[in-house]
Structure formats: structure tokens, C-alpha cells
Structure 1
Amino acid sequence: MELLHRFVVFLVLFMAFGMSQSYGSARRLHSALWRGGGAAMTKYQTIVVDQSGNGNYTTIQAAIDAIPTNNMQWICVYVKEGTYNEQVKIPMDKPMIYLKGAGKRKTNVVWDSHKIIEHDATFSCEADEIVVKSMTFINSYNYPLSNNNNKIESALAAKITGDKSAFYRVGFMGVQDTLWDSRGRHYFKLCSIRGAVDFIMGSGQSIYERCTVSVIAGFLAPQPGFITAQSRDNANHPGGFVFKDCNVVGNGTAYLGRPWRGFARVLFYNSTLTNVVVPKGWLEGDFLKSTMDDLVFAEDGCRGEGANTSGRAYWEKKMSKDEVRRLTSMSYIDEEGWMKNQAFNMLSS
């Protein structure tokens, strides 16, 4: 049956063998329509994942495996409500996948791998042109804290290495190294990211808009946790994390960030920072004196009890309005307009 599914998907994508069926037809592909920003109405095919067997596949990975390599047309993998205990990977040679759940609190993908960050993520996204919507990825090795006695280890909920990828109403739950925003241009909108230590890390060139950044560092008291661990190798590297119109909430305390590399860049813009943010705001880590001037940690227009900058690290950057405008504009990650041509247009949502 699995071979038959692969063959059918291949025909749909490469020979225009349309099969316009409803979700009620359990073993057929469903045709849907989308309109990109200004683009003509276009069809994409939908593969249904349902644990009960009333879909094309019962696991997410089986559906992804069925998509032909070097796919050049959008295809949706719709994952029905439920908890999927599996490790999911979209390999580099499978672009243009729209991974859609039934809701951030309804479709959960759970795995408990840990320690080896290159391989332990619950969700690994290596391909370009990926859209993920309305689901949550959880690394359960340490999360939730109340449910286990495991030593706190690096345990990723997601690792994102592809370019031109977008996430809408997606949850990322873990404790340490929750989201490895490793490299590429990424957009996160209305997402929830939870953790305690370096839980948003990497070299990505990313905007986080209207996201909830949830600190769960109470167990570390009196030591604070760390929200970001950004990683730029040099001043010309385009990477950097921009938090725009976000909410930083939670329990315990945390620094806004510490550097993973000596040219780390993070901006919190027009965001609400609660009292979970420590007064110093940022930690220089191992990058003392000689490299502190290269760190680009900044805040602009933030509010809330944790936004008082009077006690901030003296080396926090004061960005010009032009630089803030450049980093908070969508052109920072999307000069050529790739987002409006994706399967789900987040810019209008």
C-alpha cells in the first residue's frame, strides 16, 4: 500500500493526474486551492495523516517519505488531531511542503531524544520552502519538568536549517536548546517557544513576530536562565534574531541572551518584557572585553517591568532608527518576495 501511495503522489505532482476528492475518501488525495499574494489561483494536493487509519497514512514521516524527491510543486501534509510519538524529518531534497496540523493545542509531535543536537530534534527541517502551521513540537526528555527526573540535557524540539521557511501558530516546547534556528531565512508568527536555557539558538536570519517567549527557569533559582544564544561568526554575517511585538513571560528569571559566537545579534523591538527578565538583560559569557564591542544585543521601544534598561549591561548596543527599521522590516528576511508565493500567506493573516 505504501508503494501505491508513492506512485499516486508522483503521478499527481509530475503528470497532473488530479484527484479532487474529499477528506472522507480515506485513501485518496485531496485537492485544495490557495492564492498567494497577487498570484493566480493554484491547486495543491493534500496527504492526510490520521492515527485512526482514516487517512492516507498513520504517521507524519510516512507521508513525508511518500513525497517525490526534488518536488517542485506545493503539497500539503495535513495532520489530524492527536499526539504523534515520532521523530519527523523533512530532508534537504523535499522542498515545498506545507505541514499543517489541526491546531497548536490539538496536533502534537512528541519525541525524547537528547544530548546530540545534530540528531536529537523532534522535528528536523532541512529543505527550503517549507511552511508549518497549527501544531506543536515537544521534546519530552525534560519537558514537562514535573513529569520526569532526568538530568537537564540539550534536547531539541526543532532544528531548522533550510532557507525560506515560515511557521504560523506553531509551538516549540523543551527546556534546554528547544529551538535550533540554525541557518537560513525564517519567519515565525504567533508561535509559542518555551524553555529555560539557550532555548532559541543558532545563526538564523529570522523575524519572530507576535510570538510568546515563555521562560520556565524557576527550577534554576537563584540562577537565571537564558532565552537566546545567537551565533554569528563575523560582522558581515546576515544572521540575527529579531523579536517584534512579542511577549516575554514565564517563571523564574532569565537573561534576554548570551552569545554563542563573538558577533551574536539579537534585537527585541516593541515587545512586552515581564519581570522574568533580569535587570542586566544580557550576559557576555566567554566573550570578555576584547570582543564585547562586537556583540549586537539591543532593545527598542519595549515595555513592561522587565524593559527598564537602567541596569542593563553597559555594552548593550544603541541602534539607530534606520538600523532598527532595517532589521524589523520584512525585507530583512524577504527582499525578493518569497513569502507571498508560499502555500499559506502569513503576511495577510
Structure 2
Amino acid sequence: MGMWERDTWKWKFDWTTELSDIESETVHDLLLILDQVRPSREARDRRRWKPHKAGFFTVKTAYIALMPRPVLAFVICESQDCSKPFKIIVVSQSNSSSNFTTIQSAIDSVPTGNSQWIHIQISSGVYRERVFIPKAKPCIYLEGAGRNSTSIEWSTHVNATFVSKANNTAAKGITFVNTMNSPVMLEVPSIIQARAAWIYADKCVFYDCAFLGVQDTLNDDWGRHYYKNCYIQGGIDFIYGDGQSLFEASTIFFSMGKNGPKIDGVITAHERKSPNDPSGFVFKNCNISGTAGGKAELGRAMDAYARVIIADSYLSDVVKPEGWSPRTFVGHE
């Protein structure tokens, strides 16, 4: 946290952009679009930059502290423009000339405070490991050999198979799997939370990826995210969180698992907490379908202002006619 004395406490920031502006076809272009969201020029011109060995600091959030004279207290984070040239790291379980044999060891090699794009190329294979990208290691691009060729698989209830807390995370051609509920037992109580991915970071992109699980498959927790040509499978709240995210040209598949019970479920569970919260899930040109047996609601409210928008998408008969459940938040629909 930094302290900045001001003659006035008024300050203006502009951190929003229209989801409809995100139309690009490549991961590189998408990241450039997401990077357009910056403070207003007026705020940038008045800001006093604080030098640091890793670059500059930018204001993230602000509030007024009760002091003898007006003081603006603000949380700061390092600038993450990922402007330096790419560095390539190769991961392979079979090629002896690769840099690493596990994905996590490749991520561990990235220096803390990284500010250049790290392109981690992952050869085909099943990588049975839990992968974590910490907050201090932004600008990592994971590229697999295709979602039918490269997968990361782990069994966990407490955590997730893949976790990113770093801004500017990108992934392409990878399947993320939580195997805890597979094969699922026939007894309903045996299905528990088992996240394939947990995304808690800003400006993250997933292109041609798959997320497989049963309950809470994709925890789209916080930040602005873009999913293009992805496949997301689950049965209970399998896309949930407080993210501000666009899912485009993707398949959303309702399933309780290969041998799972034929029961009803829910696709989304959004957690928007206030009318001023910019978060929400948008599904555009998606295919929403599933296996026969149970039916699925498109979503249910996990907080009072939950927001899910479905546009220009195909809905199969696996979707319940009522579509949505407000739970205990009737009147906020």
C-alpha cells in the first residue's frame, strides 16, 4: 500500500470496456484488446510513479484514509505490459532435448516479477500434475499440442488441477481435467466439488481448451476472461464464480460423468454481489447441450445480483424450460 497526499480526495478511474468489443480471432490480438483497459489519461498524467527495480507501479484500488489532512491511500501493483520479446520453454515427457519434463517445473523457472512473454510449448501427452501460476509470474502463455493431445489431469477436492492467480495468463490447445468424480459412483452424495481450473486473475485468455469435471468444473472466480472455441463439461454449477467473462463459439456440455447418476443439474452459478459490479457471464454463439437422463437449469443465483447472458446460442432439450433459478434472491431477476 502507498500513501499519496492530495489537496482533494476526488479521483477518477476508467477500468471498464464493452464485452462486445472483443471480436479478435487470435490469442495475441485478444490480449492486446484486454490490455486497452487502463486508467483515464487525466489520472495517468497526475499520477506520481514510484520507481521499482521490476518497473513501475500502477494504482489498482483506492480509498480515503481518515488522517489530519486529506490523504489518498491506494493499493499498488506492478505494471504488467508484457512488452519484452518472447522467451520459449519446451516441455516434453519423451523428448530429451526439451527444457523440462513437467509443466510446473517450467513455470517455477520463470523469475518472480516477470515482465516478458514466456511461451511454454507443451508436447502431447497426459501430464499428471497439479499446475499453479502464482500472482508474481504474469505473462505466461501455455500452448499444448491440441486439446485432444495434451491434457493436465489431477484428482483434488480442496484445490484445482490448474490454478492461475497471475494476470495475462493465456492457454491454447490444452485439456484440464479433475478426475476426482470419475468414474463417479451411482450414489448422489459421492459427487463433490472437484475443480478442473480456478482462474483468479485479470486479462486471461483460453483458446481451443477443454475443462472436464462434474461439480464446479470451471471456477471463473475473478477478473476479465475470454474463452474461444472451448469445451466445458460438468453437471453441477460447473461454470461458477464472479468473473467478467465472455464465452464465444464454445460447447457447454451437461453431464454427470460417463457412469454418473441421471439426475438434474445446473450449468452456471454466478456470484455478482452488487448492482455496480461489472462482472457477468456472457455466452455468445455457443452450443449448450448434454447427455440424456437429467435436465439442467441454465443457471442459478449464488448472490443477489448474479448475471448471465446467453446470446445467439443453441439450446438443446437438456435445458429445463424454466431456465433459471433465483434461489433465495427472488425479485433480482
Identity within the alignment, %: 44
Once the 2 structures are TM-superposed, how far is the Cα of residue 149 of structure 1 from its aligned partner?
A: 10
Match of 2:295 among 240, 253, 256: 253
| Matched residue, 1:47 | 89
Render the CA deviation track for 1:283-313: whole Å, top value 9, x for unaligned.
12232xxxx2323xxxxxxxxxxxxxxxxxx
State whether structure 2 residue 310 is matched by structure 1 residue 268: yes
Give the distance between the partners of 1:166 and 1:185, measured in 2 at CA.
9
Offset of 1:224 from its aligned partner? Answer: 1.5
SS in 2 for 1:124: strand
RMSD of aligned C-alpha atoms?
A: 2.4
Equivalent in 174, 178, 183 of residue 135 of structure 1: 174
Alpha-carbon distance between aligned partners in 1 of 2:98 and 2:147, rounded to the nearest angstrom? 20
- Partner amino acid, structure 2, of 1:46: I
Counting only pairs closer than 5 Å after superposition, residues 84-99 of structure 1 correspond to structure 2 as 84-99=127-142
Matched residue, 2:282: 242
Does the C-alpha gap of structure 1 residues 109 and 147 become closer, same or farther in structure 2, counting only changes over 3 Å?
A: farther
**Which of 229, 234, 251 pairs up with 1:190?**
229
Does the 8 A contact of 1:228 with 1:257 survive in 2?
Answer: yes
* Structure 1: distance between partners of 2:101 and 2:210: 22
Secondary structure, counterpart of 2:116 in structure 1: coil
CA distance in 1, matches of 2:305, 2:166: 26
Q: Flag the structure with higher helix content.
A: 1
Instruction: Answer yes or no: is the 8 Å Cα contact 2:147–2:175 preserved in 1.
Output: yes
Contact 1:199 1:227 in 2 (8 A): yes
What runs of 5+ residues in structure 1 fail to find an aligned partner? 1-33, 296-349
Task: State whether structure 2 residue 195 is matched by structure 1 residue 156.
Answer: yes
**1:51-74: per-residue Cα shift (whole Å, max 9, x none)?**
123310000000000001111111
| TM-score normalized with structure 2 length | 0.71
CA distance in 2: counterparts of 1:145 and 1:234, whole angstroms: 36
Residue 268 of structure 1: how far off its partner (Å): 0.6
The equivalent residue for 2:7 is none
Which structure 2 residue ranges, 5 or more long, are not aligned?
1-26, 34-82
Q: Does 1:106 align with 2:149?
A: yes
CA distance in 2 between counterparts of 1:36 and 1:240 reads 22
The question of 1:61 aligning with 2:104 is answered: yes
CA distance in 1, matches of 2:202, 2:271: 17
Cα distance per residue 1:252-277 (max 9 Å; x no partner): 31000001111100011000000000
Q: Alpha-carbon deviation of 1:167?
A: 0.4
SS in 1 for 2:297: strand
Q: Tell me how far 1:249 sits from its aligned partner.
A: 1.1
Name the SS of the counterpart of 1:182 in structure 2: strand
Q: Which residue pairs with 1:325 in the alignment? A: none
User: Which residue pairs with 1:286 in the alignment?
Assistant: 328
Q: Is the 8 A contact 2:179 2:213 kept in 1?
A: yes
| Rounded Cα–Cα distance in structure 2 between residues aligned with 1:246 and 1:47 | 33
TM-score, normalised relative to structure 1: 0.68
Question: Displacement of 1:45 after TM fit?
Answer: 1.6
Cα deviation, 1:202-229, whole Å, max 9, x if unaligned, reads: 00000000010000048444x4100000
Conservation of the 8 A alpha-carbon contact between 2:87 and 2:116: no
Counterpart secondary structure, 1:74: strand
For each residue in 1:11-38, what CA deviation from the matched residue of structure 2 results, as whole angstroms up to 9, or x when unmatched? xxxxxxxxxxxxxxxxxxxxxxx97589
Aligned with residue 232 of structure 1, among 272, 284, 309: 272
Give the secondary-structure state (helix, strand or coil) at the position aligned to 1:293: coil
Q: Which amino acid aligns with 2:109?
A: A
Aligned-partner SS, 1:63? helix
When structure 1 is superposed on structure 2, of 189-198 and 141-150 the one drifting more is 141-150
